[in-house]
Each structure stands twice: as structure tokens, then as C-alpha cells.
Structure 1
Amino acid sequence: MNRYAWWKYLIIAAALLVGIVYTLPNFFGEAPAVQLSSGKSTVKIGPDTVPRVEAVLKEAGITPDFVEFDNGSIKARLADTDTQLKARDAITRAFNPNADDPQYIVALNLLSRSPRWLSMMRVAVIEPRPMYLGLDLRGGVHFLMQVDMKAAVTQKVEGMAGDVRTLLRDKDIRHAGIRRDGDTIIVRFRDEATRTAAMNALTDGLPDELWSNGPDGGGGGDLALIGQLKPQSVRNIQDQALKQNITTLHNRINELGVAEPVIQQQGIDRVVVQLPGVQDTARAKDIIGRTATLEIRMVEAHLNNDPQVRDFNPGKVEGAIKGIVPAGTELMYSRRDGREEPLLLSKQVVFSGNNLTGADATIDQQNSGSLVSVTLDAQGGAAMRAATREGVKRRMAVVLIEKGKPEVLTAPTIQSELSNRFQISGMKSPEEANDLALLMRAGSLAAPMEIIEERTVGPSLGADNIRMGFDSLMYGFIAISVFMMLYYLLFGVFSTIALTVNLLLLVAVLSMLQATL
């Protein structure tokens, strides 16, 4: 007769089963794999790309263990490294026919060798996966990057002149000129009363800047105000630049599919990046160092024969396609809904991504359509106002430039004079609005960075550490078990069983939590 209720035995059996299922993946090791991810912000990868990858591998005579879409990229697990290299070359040729303008990133990676049936035996939404291994156990690359803090401050100072000009205009305060001298802004005035009024307005309106009376250095006497960023403001700018760079690095490294990357601040101007398991160091450096620039330009000619839109000029566009590009313009293409529209754009930039302070998808309350609400800084708002004052019913293009390759995200029609807050309409779905807002926000680093230290940790050292760890665990466990069974006899056997179950459940819990060793 059982001493305990039957349901207690069921709980024990269920716990043991869960422990076994979540512990097993740690014993299968890792297999070479090829990962396909987007190489440009405008290129998307989804589950519908999986059949194409499978067809490419089949044509190359490669039989992968599986091909799956996971977390924004497609991964193909292969039998050995030779097959991995062959698969990488085949996928690269198929997806990037133009090597000078790659649309996709094809990188080498590692995936767990766990069988597919084991991955399907999940509890709730937790898939059985092995514990993550750190850089010392798995191998990988280590980068130490330095942020150019001076460039971040300089970029802020460059926008100060526009902010000052806008504020004085709004307050109807006349000045005799605004210029930048290094990290200072000098504003000239013709009388003391105006300078005093400007001092009060600038002190209240621009709290991050410190203003003082002084000579303008340009022959204007002493009727000048000199503005500098406050020390606390400089520190805030540097902190924000560092945090934004770390966030951008996180987004970029996600394209590599690295499990548990380490991206953390070191000191006041350095960032440590550790990528366990990364085999393609050159590709990692390429992704980390990627730069993206957002520019807004006016459309000079297009093929949209809409009487409500200006600058319809097929002759100019067709001439540009044939190579006859008017001076001061540039031919670009807008790709939307599978269609390619040629646009002749002005080379003059209305404003850039540096002037963008916000871009969010929202809903039009009047017709329930999707919009993108854009917010600019004072300098960008002034430039937008000047460009749209005479540009109503003209088209304005949003251009994203990655790796020197420009692409038009959208080219809406200007409906009225705009300033630092406006909306982009014409989105066909909330997803399209979200994508456009993300592309406008994403990309550029807040300040330039350079790699000042690079180390590659080979996987052989990690394999030796893992093997020695297993050996020490096995020998220690056997020694303790033998001692307890010899000394405590039957109770020693029970203690050994309990110790085994404890170790099993401990590894299972760490695997469920995706802990990093």
C-alpha cells in the first residue's frame, strides 16, 4: 500500500520529466549554421522567405537539418563547417547578386544540435534550449569602442544657432548677426536695451545654455551675447550620446542573432561589445560600424500626372534615366507596393536626421487612417517652414542613405506650410506607418565610434574549459556518491538519488531561465 497519495507521485514524475526535457539540450552541443538577415532598413525578411532559402540550398545540393524563421532572420542548420561555407556562398550569390550593393546579410553562426522533436516538447511557451555560453566558453569576438564625445557636443552646438535665431524671431527681438565660434555662439546687437531683452529671452528659453555679455570679436564692439553650453548640459549630451549608441548597437547586433551579447559602458566614453559564438568577425565589424543618414529633399520632377501636384515633368525624369541629369539634381527611386517610381530630387537637403527629435505612428482621428507624426528641433522646423512656404502642392522625399546607397522611403505631397511638427499621411496600414516611423528614427549613431581594441577568442579554449568542467563534476559526483553509499549504506543510496535529482532540476531551471555561463 502506498504511503503517500497518488497525486504526489504524479507531481514528482512530472517534475522529473520536465527536468529531463530541459536538461537534455545541454548535451547535444552546437552545429554550424548560416543566418540570413536584412542588410538594409528597407529590406524585410519574413516566413515567406524560407521556401526561397530552401530552394537555393537544394539547387546547390545541400541538405540542411532545418531552415527556420526566428526573431527577424532565417537560420539554416548544417552538418559540418564545409557544408556551412558552401551554403553561405550559395545564399550570398542568390540573395546578393550585386556585391557592391548587398541587400541581405549572410553570416556564419552556431545553433544547438537538439533534435526537432525535443524543441517541440515545450512547457507553456518556454522552448527547451541549452544554457548560453559566455565568451570564455563559446569563443567569439571582443570589441572595445571609443565614442567621440567632442563630436556629440559639436553637433549640439551647431544646432544652437538655429535655436537662437528661431527664439529671437518669435520674441520679435532684432539682432545684427549670429555666428558660431568653436563651441560658442555669438549674437550681435545694436543697442543695450535689445541685448538685455535678448539675454532674458535666451536665458528663459534655452536653459541648457549659459549667456554672458562680451565682445563679438568681429568689429561690433561690446554689444554681443556669448552663449555656451553649461557643464551639466555637456555631461547630459555625452551621457545621452553614449546611451543612444548602446541602444543602436543592440539593434544592429540583433541582426547577427547573437545569444546574450554583452554591450556595456566602460568609463565615460567607451563601450565593450562581446559577441559569443560569432564566427564571422569581418561581418560583425561591418554591421557594428554601419551608418545610416536620413535626409529630406524636395522633388524637382516626377511622373505622377495629378493636377493637384506640381512639378509633373516626364521629360526631365526620362532624360535623367537616360543619363541627362540637370545640375543640382539627382535621380533616385521610390519602391512601394512592388512598384518602382523614378524621382528627380534636389541635391539640397532641407533637413537631416540630426534635426529629427521624434517620429511616431498614429491614427488620424478624422478618417481613421494611419499617419506618422514627426517632430523637429528648432533648426529643422525653421528649415521646414522656409521650404514649404513656397512649396505647397510640391512633393517632398524622405531619403534613407545606408552605406552610401540612397533610397526614397516615401515622397508625400505638401498640403500646407509646415514647421517643426507635421504629419505624413497616405499610409495604407498601421504596419506601414510603424515601419516608416521606425526607419525615420533608426540608423545613425548619436556620435561617431571607432574600434580601439579587438580580440578573437577561439572556441578550442572554451571546449577545453567545458570538458574539464564536466570531468570535475563527474569525478566529484562519483567520489561523493561512493562515500555516502559506503558510509550510510541504504540511506546513502537515497541521498545519491536526491543529489542526482537536485542536479537535474538545477540545470533544467537554469536552461529555462536561459542563464549564461
Structure 2
Amino acid sequence: MLQIALWKRMAIVALVLSGLALALPNAFYSRVEGHNDAVRAIETGGVTPELVAQRDAWPGWLPSGLVNLGLDLRGGAHLLAEVRVEDVYANRMDGMWPELRDALRDKRAQVGTIRRQDAPPGELRVRISRPEAMTTAVEAARALARPSVTLTGVGGSDIEVRSLGDTLIVQLSEAEKLATDDRTIQQSLEIVRRRVDEVGTREPTIQRQGADRILIQVPGIGSAEELKALIGTTARLTFNPVVSRTTNPDEAPGAGNVLLPDIEADGTYYILEKAAVVSGEDLTDAQPAFDQNGQPSVTFRFDPAGARKFGQYTVENVGQPFAIVLDDEVISAPVIREPILGGSGQITGNFTVEDSTQLAVLLRAGALPAEMIFLEERTIGPELGADSIAAGQVASIVAFVGVLVFMWASYGLFGLFANIALLINVGMIFGLLSAIGATLTLPGIAGIVLTIGMAVDANVLVFERIREELKSARGPARAIELGYQKALSAILDANITTFITAAILFMLGSGPVRGFAVTLGLGIITSVFTAIFVTRLMIVTWLDRRRPKTISL
């Protein structure tokens, strides 16, 4: 067992060199980070001399993965937001109105004329002129119901229909409300993540908290206000039919309609149908551009379903105006001169280049399904992160030096081998963290410090076993071989149980707890590898060259 085959030696050396090579970029953090940013900028925006110089500051053939610094180390913004899931109920009812209207019109001979009424949020109310035919109206509305799809399977109907005098009332069922709440939170999580990723921030923490809250932590961003400006904008784009234009802000729009201001003309308002022809959900792409007058604009493209709906509407409404609405403001209300069948268009307005770029980002990411209310916000400055890094460095250095001195004083030359393996161990931890793109936080640093203390545990077990074998008057080679054989089971038992604990922390924990679990788990893997293979390789190599008659620990 003491002899190590050549291929095994080469494999051990190759693994060590690979781990250290992956860790190398972290020693030149700013330079490599600039290189990575320049590479991404060149891919998306084109080549400039400044970007080329920044890219060439780090050789392209070397690894360029970095350990991402968490919010507590890098600084950044922290937000806790509450999603108003009730807003989605009203949107669902507004979207159902055209379908219900067509169904009741097919029954006009029985139910008479129909008219939508004002209703509480989340309800759709329709008055019919022949109350005696209410049963027919209820059946027509119930025919529009669909099964409610939840995490536990397909449940009952997604709507509840009842009558009150001459008024038909439709609302979401309780099962559908619960399913809608869950979908709304999941959709909000995904859209927030896409918006944050669009601006190139690193390793954000975006996760659900409780029933209707979202925690957002983004390292490296300037302030909480900047993050709110990016996330808090709903960016809901719709194309709505125009009913009329007015200068009276108090004019009643009527049931099924909405009064919205014109963003370009102060004092001008549009009465629009609530039900949109198409919305931002039908977009497949949005890019900043310039219009024919050289002014900033945003070009967009619909998916096939959106292009078909938009094309059909423009065919049927040539000569009529339609409104482009962004976040409850009319940014444009052009007249349809001819059918628009290409599935693409352009949004113009009083945009700056920054405005058009930001709007394109928001439209590509999609509209938030409901309003988000920010309950808690914090900005963590980079100087606090620098203090945290300095404190972590001090703790790591003290632990590191203490372990090195102890091992050298206790085991002499073999302690030196263990110390070299410990240095390699820490390097490989950072190499693995870089390879998987992990985020390092203060608890993560604590995990590394703990690993430093645990890393020599395996070597201590081996060396003590060797000492015992030497007392039995065995030769150095045989004592070392038996020391590794007899210590192996204890090493594996201790580290496997600790690794299981780290895995449980990772699966059940969140945020800082998971960061601690990641570094602890990786540290266990590298410490076992360096103790069983790297240290033994150094000892065997020394033994082959020196061939001592006796050894002293």
C-alpha cells in the first residue's frame, strides 16, 4: 500500500495543479473581474479599444472563474418585498370579460341586452335586461370554467358563478385563488431574477419568504434605490382600443373602461377599453434603437400568437386609433393607417438613450404580474464589506499560523509535509468554489476557518498511528504503511458524518447557512484528499529518496 503507482502519482499531481490553477484568478481579483466584464461587453455591444485593453489584461488561455463575493463582503442592496397577489384577481376578471360578453351575446334572445357593471376588485358583474333568464346566463358563464390546476393536481372549477337579482356575478374560486397566488409569486421571482441578471450583477439572492414575500439581495449594486428602480417598475405594456379622448381628468370612463393620462401631452387623457388587444407577455424581444428622426426608441417583436391577434385587430380597425400603454400611462396613440401584419413595431416617445435601454431591459424580462410593496430596504456600503473581508482575513491567518506552528512543533518534518498539504487544501477549496461559481459570505469564511482546523485532523490520526507502530520496533516503511491503513477508517468515519451534517444544512438552510454548508462540504472533500493522497505522496517520495533507517515524530 505504501508504494504508489506512477499513474496514480500523475493523477494526484494533475488534480492538485488543476485545483490551484482554478484558484489562481482569485489572487488577481480586480484584473480578472475586469477581463470577464470586458468579454461579456464585447459579445453584446461590440469592440472598443478600452474593452480590448481590459480584456487583454488577463490571458484568455488561463482560467477566469472567480469566487463571487456575497452581499456582506462586496456591499450592495437588500430588499424585502410583498407581492399584492389580489391585483391578479382583477386582471383575470378583466381578461375574462370579452369571452363572457361573446357567450352572453349568443344567448341574447333569452337574456336580452347585457351591460357590465362596476364591481369590487376580483369580481365581474354583468346586468341582463331579462332577469327571468338568469339561469341561462349562469349556465353560459359556467360553460367558460376550466379545471383549477394546483400543485396537488387538477381540482374543481376555476370560477364561481352566482346571481343577485338581475346581475350575474363571476369570481375566482378559492382553489383557483390559492393556485393563482402560488403562480404569481413564482412568476414574480423569475421576472425579478431575469431583470437583475439583465444588468449583469453577480450572484443575487432572490428567494421566497412566507406566503407572499420575496427577499432580494444583490451584491455590487450602488444602492437600494437603484435596485428598487430596476425591480419596482412594473413595465406592463399593453395595446388597448381607444374609446375617446378628453381633457377632463374627472370624466367617468364607464364600466369596462379606464381613464389614463397621455405621457407626452399634459392635461390630455384617453378613455380606453380595459381589455387589451395584446400585452407585453406576447413579446419575444425588445431592443433599444433610434427612430427615423434619430430619437431614441424601442423596437419590439411579437410571438406568433401575439402577431396574429395584433394583425387581426389592425385589419378590422383601419383608420381607428389604438393606445400603447406603459404602466398605466399612454405613451403613444397612433391611428392605424394600414394593417400591421409583420408582428413587429417601434415605441417612440420622449426617451433618452438610458430610458430606451432600461425600457428594453424591462420589456425583455417581462411584466411583474402584481405590484410589489417594499417593506424593508438596506444599502450595505463597500467599506463595510472591506471591513468584513479584513476581519475574515485576520481570523483565517491567525487560525492558519496557529495550525502550522502546532503541526511543526508536534511532528517536525512530517508536520511540514502536513503544512504544505494544508496550503494546497485551502487553494483547492477556492478552486472548487470558483469552478462552481459559488458565493463567498462571512459564514462561508467561517466554514473555511473551521476547515483549516479540521484539515490536519486526518494527518494527526495518521501520525499518531505511525508513532504507535514505531514503538513496536517496526521499520519506517512498514510503520508508515500500517499507520495509513489503520487510520483510514477513523478518518472516513469522522469526515463522512461531518459531510452529512453539511449536506443537511445545505438542503434545509437558506442564505448564510447554505454558504457555510458549501464551504464546509468542499473543505471536507479537499482535506480528505490532501491527507490521504497528497501528504502520503510527499512522505513516500521523501522515503524513496532518503531511505532513512529510523524516523522520529
1:57 maps to none
User: Which amino acid in 2 is paired with 1:254?
Assistant: D
Whole-angstrom distance in 1 between the partners of 2:8 and 2:27:
29
User: The residue matched to 1:272 in structure 2 has which SS?
Assistant: strand
Asked whether the equivalents of residues 140 and 456 of structure 1 are also in contact (C-alpha less than 8 Å), the reply is yes
* Change over 3 Å in CA distance of 1:352–1:67 after alignment to 2: farther
The superposition leaves residues 104-149 of structure 1 with CA deviations (integer Å, 9 ceiling, x where unpaired) of xxxxxxxxxx9512x5313xxxxx3221121112211111222233
What amino acid sits opposite 2:206 in the alignment? I
Q: Deviations along 1:152-203, whole A, 9 cap, x unmatched?
A: 3222233343332122235666344232321433334455663222222322
The match for 1:284 among 214, 227, 230 is 227
Correspondence 1:146 to 2:85: no
Measure the CA separation in 2 of the matches of 1:196 and 1:234. Answer: 25
SS in 2 for 1:260: coil
Please report how far the alpha carbon of residue 21 of structure 1 lies from its aligned counterpart in structure 2 after TM superposition.
Answer: 1.7
* Aligned-partner Cα distance in 2 for 1:53–1:280: 30
Larger radius of gyration: 2
Q: Secondary structure at the match of 1:489?
A: helix
Q: CA deviation at 1:512?
A: 0.6
Contact 1:353/1:440, CA 8 A, preserved across alignment = no
Which position in structure 1 is the counterpart of 2:305? 374
Q: Residues of 2 paired with 1:247 and 1:409: CA distance?
A: 33
Cα 1:245/1:159, change in 2 over 3 Å: same
1:214 aligns with 2:140: no
Q: Is the 8 A contact 2:263 2:330 kept in 1?
A: no
Amino acid at match of 2:8: K
1:195 aligns with 2:121: no
2:317 aligned partner:
391
8 Å CA contact 1:297–1:399 kept in 2: the answer is: yes
State TM-score, norm by structure 1: 0.58
Q: CA deviation at 1:404?
A: 6.5
Counterpart mapping for 1:250-399 below 5 A:
250-296=193-239, 356=279, 359=282, 372-374=303-305, 390-391=316-317, 399=324
Whole-angstrom distance in 1 between the partners of 2:334 and 2:28: 45
Note the C-alpha offset of 1:281. Answer: 4.6
CA distance, structure 2, for counterparts of residue 142 and residue 160 of structure 1: 37
**SS of residue paired to 1:182:** coil
Distance, in Å, in 2 between the alignment partners of 1:148 and 1:250 is: 18
Report deviation, 1:447. Answer: 1.3
Tell me the matched-pair count. 373
Q: Supply the RMSD in Å over aligned alpha carbons.
A: 4.8
| CA distance, structure 2, for counterparts of residue 290 and residue 147 of structure 1 | 13
1:245/1:411 Cα in 2 relative to 1: closer, same or farther (>3 Å)? farther
Give the equivalent residue in structure 2 for 1:248: 191
Equivalents in 2 of 1:403, 1:189: separation in Å? 30
Indicate conservation of the 8 Å contact 1:296/1:351, yes or no: no
1:243 alignment partner, SS class: helix
1:120 aligns to 2:61 (yes or no): yes
- Cα deviation, residue 258, structure 1: 1.1
Structure having the higher strand fraction is 1
Deviation at 1:227, TM superposition (A): 2.3
Partner of 1:494: 417
Contact 1:359 1:440 in 2 (8 A): no
Partner of 2:126, secondary structure, is: strand
Residue 339 of structure 2 is aligned to residue 414 of structure 1: yes
CA distance in 2, matches of 1:138, 1:23: 19
**Separation in structure 2 between the aligned mates of residue 139 and residue 438 of structure 1, nearest angstrom:** 24
Question: In structure 2, what is the equivalent of residue 9 of structure 1?
Answer: 9
Shift of 1:49: 3.9
Query: CA 1:410–1:372 in 2, change beyond 3 Å: closer, same or farther?
Result: farther
**Equivalent residue, structure 2, for 1:205:** 144
Change (3 A) 1:411 1:471: farther
Q: TM-score, normalising length from structure 2?
A: 0.55
- Decide whether aligned partners of structure 1 residues 424 and 331 sit closer, same or farther in structure 2, where only a CA change above 3 A counts: farther
Q: 1:461 to 1:442 in 2, by over 3 A?
A: closer
Shift of residue 20, structure 1, vs aligned partner: 1.8
Q: Which amino acid aligns with 1:473?
A: S
**Aligned partner letter, 1:372:** D
Alignment-derived partner of residue 94 in structure 1: none
CA separation of 1:267 and 1:153: change in aligned 2, threshold 3 A: same
Secondary structure of the corresponding residue to residue 116 of structure 1: coil
